[in-house]
Chains A and B, each alone.
Chain A
């Protein structure tokens, strides 16, 4: 069965279906945030209202308000936008770097491979969280720097996966055939090799997207996330932590949101992996 289209069949399985539902759901929320959010996420109204409470003009705060009087539901919805945009950008960038270097290393081998593999190893030897913290502290907290930090942290692992697959595929007959036919290297890499690794990569992509989201959450929690007042789930947990006992809605909903998104991605990845066959975990 072609690995390429196995993932479509995988959606029929219940766990993968739930995962897909969650992911698509959050994606829609992120895309339609301006329409769905009942209030301006940056606008202060009445602080610390409990979920379901009614404001003076009759508007209901379904998830309550935070310490600065901003609607938690609206911040949650716009936070989805933040997470989806930044985590996706970060993961895609990491993938761009990882795939290009992995393809080159796996295809050409030799000195290129040695150098790139060594460099990837060096970065992988760094404790990831420290890498993130040092980058953010050195460069300041902003969306671009979060993307940079996550790229640094994830690209080497992706590099390894792509490299291993490339090495494996390179020895196959159809590649040898393509070479004899005189296809250019670029074509081989992009048209022959890359699509055939899509199965493993898509699985990894889903998982890595989840890790990026968690990383954003952790950075926000450590106070190194996106600058206020950007709605950011990790930042919301950070801000509400001290009042969590009296006002649990401040941390409960962002945690549930983040967990459900990552859960969706994990379930999806799990489902995809199962139907793509038992592929040896490489890298």
Chain B
């Protein structure tokens, strides 16, 4: 984000960020539209099928306004998009909006379940490691974190499936929810996600915890004779958790679109598989809509994360914000 000079107030900052968000989303929409709809012949083939004739395609293109200049088409699409008309999927033959909503819900459930596992596990590991810096536990947690973040999701999915589905037979191998919702079907995907993410959260929490534990404020509290537990609970945690909490918030976009591999592997009918299918099939309206939704989630969580950070850490001025890491 551009430099913010001078004294900034919350409303002013917020306005600037929202403007930035809108501008970002507009640019993304333009880029995506340009990449997908510049070549209009492909669009006609997609909709009418590979056996359509050149005349049929020309006729269809004319009818649907594809012969208008590019900018006009873009503005028309933008207008429709903002008013909630997201077009029709050429692959699923359904209205895009009604297609996306249940998938978002499904990914939301997966993300929620994953967070329920990632947050406690990651935070707990990080806190313990940070408090006992340099100890065996610390090394163990660090090693665990590094190892789990080095194993790609598909690899851990393969190992877990081989172990729990084929060898032990304890868990189902797919999570399609075809028979209705089953909690058992969530266990493996959530485990894979947790393995990959909890380690990262643990490391962030640990380093933040270590920072805080060595700060003068905490040392003074300890010297004053407060018990270790009191020190941690009352003083250290609140400060140490600021960064991890904001980082956790930034996992949300990843849990929506970055988990394509896990969703595809377990055939989970979520937003990730929808995006994947849309991209593979060059399903234009669907790709555009999905990308806009993903980007919206990203920018909203970025702003939200900054706000949360500012709220938790009143000493940090809004001025220094804008450095939130949106990527690992």
Spell out A's residues near B (CB within 8 Å).
15, 109, 113-114, 117-118, 121-122, 124-130, 133-134, 137-138, 156-157, 164, 210-211, 214, 217-218, 221-222, 234, 237, 241, 244-245, 248, 251, 255, 258-260, 262-263, 265-267, 270, 278, 281-283
Distance in angstroms between the alpha carbons of A242 and B193 in the assembled complex: 21
Chain A residue at smallest Cβ distance from B271: A127
Q: A114-B2, A125-B299, A255-B159 are in contact. Are A218 and B294 (CB under 8 A)?
A: no
Q: 7 shortest A-B CB distances, which residue pairs?
A: A127-B257, A255-B155, A263-B150, A262-B150, A127-B294, A221-B154, A133-B279
- Complex partner residue of A117 from B2, B261, B276, CB under 8 angstroms: B2
B31 close to A130 (CB less than 8 A): no
A interface, by DSSP: helix, strand, loop or mixed? helix
Interface members, chain B 244-282 (any A CB < 8 Å): 253, 256-258, 260-261, 264, 275-276, 279-280, 282
- 6 pairs, A vs B, C-beta closer than 8 Å: A118-B27, A125-B326, A127-B256, A127-B298, A221-B261, A222-B260
- Chain A residues whose C-beta falls within 8 Å of the C-beta of B23 in the assembled complex: 118
Chain A residue at smallest Cβ distance from B155: A255
Chain A residue at smallest Cβ distance from B297: A127
- Chain A residues whose C-beta falls within 8 Å of the C-beta of B299 in the assembled complex: 125
- Complex partner residue of B264 from A118, A222, A244, CB under 8 angstroms: A222
A134 close to B287 (CB less than 8 A): yes
A124 close to B326 (CB less than 8 A): yes
Q: B1 CB to closest chain A CB, in angstroms?
A: 7
Distance in angstroms between the alpha carbons of A257 and B20 in the assembled complex: 43
Q: A125-B298, A266-B146, A266-B149 are in contact. Are A258 and B280 (CB under 8 A)?
A: no
A237 close to B158 (CB less than 8 A): yes
Distance in angstroms between the alpha carbons of A118 and B258 in the assembled complex: 22
B 96-109 binary contact with A (CB < 8 Å = 1; else 0) = 00000000000000
- Chain B residues whose C-beta falls within 8 Å of the C-beta of A282 in the assembled complex: 323
- Complex partner residue of B280 from A137, A214, A237, CB under 8 angstroms: A137
B146 close to A270 (CB less than 8 A): yes
Tell me if B295 is interfacial: C-beta within 8 Å of chain A: yes
- Chain A residues whose C-beta falls within 8 Å of the C-beta of B261 in the assembled complex: 129, 218, 221-222
B 131-174 binary contact with A (CB < 8 Å = 1; else 0) = 00000000000110011011111110011001000110000000
Distance in angstroms between the alpha carbons of A129 and B323 in the assembled complex: 23
A137 close to B279 (CB less than 8 A): yes
Q: B155 CB to closest chain A CB, in angstroms?
A: 4
Chain A residue at smallest Cβ distance from B264: A222
- Complex partner residue of B323 from A156, A164, A255, A262, CB under 8 angstroms: A164
Q: A258 CB to closest chain B CB, in angstroms?
A: 6
Spell out B's residues near A (CB within 8 Å).
1-3, 20, 23-25, 27-28, 31, 35, 142-143, 146-147, 149-155, 158-159, 162, 166-167, 211, 253, 256-258, 260-261, 264, 275-276, 279-280, 282, 287, 290-291, 294-295, 298-299, 323, 325-328
Q: B258 CB to closest chain A CB, in angstroms?
A: 6
Q: B149 CB to closest chain A CB, in angstroms?
A: 7
A259 close to B275 (CB less than 8 A): no
A218 close to B162 (CB less than 8 A): no
Distance in angstroms between the alpha carbons of A244 and B167 in the assembled complex: 12
Q: A117-B1, A133-B280, A137-B280 are in contact. Are A126 and B291 (CB under 8 A)?
A: yes
- Complex partner residue of B1 from A121, A217, A237, CB under 8 angstroms: A121
- Complex partner residue of B3 from A113, A260, A265, A283, CB under 8 angstroms: A113
Distance in angstroms between the alpha carbons of A121 and B31 in the assembled complex: 13
Distance in angstroms between the alpha carbons of A117 and B27 in the assembled complex: 13
- Chain B residues whose C-beta falls within 8 Å of the C-beta of A258 in the assembled complex: 152, 155
Chain A residue at smallest Cβ distance from B149: A266
A157 close to B327 (CB less than 8 A): yes
B31 close to A122 (CB less than 8 A): yes
Distance in angstroms between the alpha carbons of A234 and B152 in the assembled complex: 10
Q: B144 CB to closest chain A CB, in angstroms?
A: 12
- Chain A residues whose C-beta falls within 8 Å of the C-beta of B31 in the assembled complex: 122
Q: A136 CB to closest chain B CB, in angstroms?
A: 9
Interface centre among A109, A124, A265 (most CB of B within 10 A): A124
Q: A122-B27, A127-B253, A134-B35 are in contact. Are A263 and B146 (CB under 8 A)?
A: yes
Q: B15 CB to closest chain A CB, in angstroms?
A: 17
B3 close to A259 (CB less than 8 A): no
- Chain A residues whose C-beta falls within 8 Å of the C-beta of B326 in the assembled complex: 121, 124-125
B1 close to A244 (CB less than 8 A): no
A130 close to B155 (CB less than 8 A): no
A237 close to B323 (CB less than 8 A): no
Q: A266 CB to closest chain B CB, in angstroms?
A: 5
- Complex partner residue of B162 from A121, A214, A245, A263, CB under 8 angstroms: A245
Interface centre among B2, B154, B166, B290 (most CB of A within 10 A): B154
Distance in angstroms between the alpha carbons of A15 and B138 in the assembled complex: 13
A259 close to B291 (CB less than 8 A): no
Q: A113-B2, A258-B155, A266-B150 are in contact. Are A125 and B280 (CB under 8 A)?
A: no
Q: 16 more A-B contacts (CB under 8 A) besides A125-B295, A222-B260, A262-B150?
A: A118-B24, A122-B24, A125-B24, A125-B25, A125-B326, A127-B257, A138-B35, A217-B154, A245-B162, A245-B167, A248-B162, A255-B158, A263-B150, A267-B146, A270-B142, A283-B323
- Chain B residues whose C-beta falls within 8 Å of the C-beta of A122 in the assembled complex: 24, 27-28, 31
B152 close to A218 (CB less than 8 A): yes
Distance in angstroms between the alpha carbons of A110 and B153 in the assembled complex: 41
- Chain B residues whose C-beta falls within 8 Å of the C-beta of A283 in the assembled complex: 323, 325
Q: A225 CB to closest chain B CB, in angstroms?
A: 12
Q: A20 CB to closest chain B CB, in angstroms?
A: 14
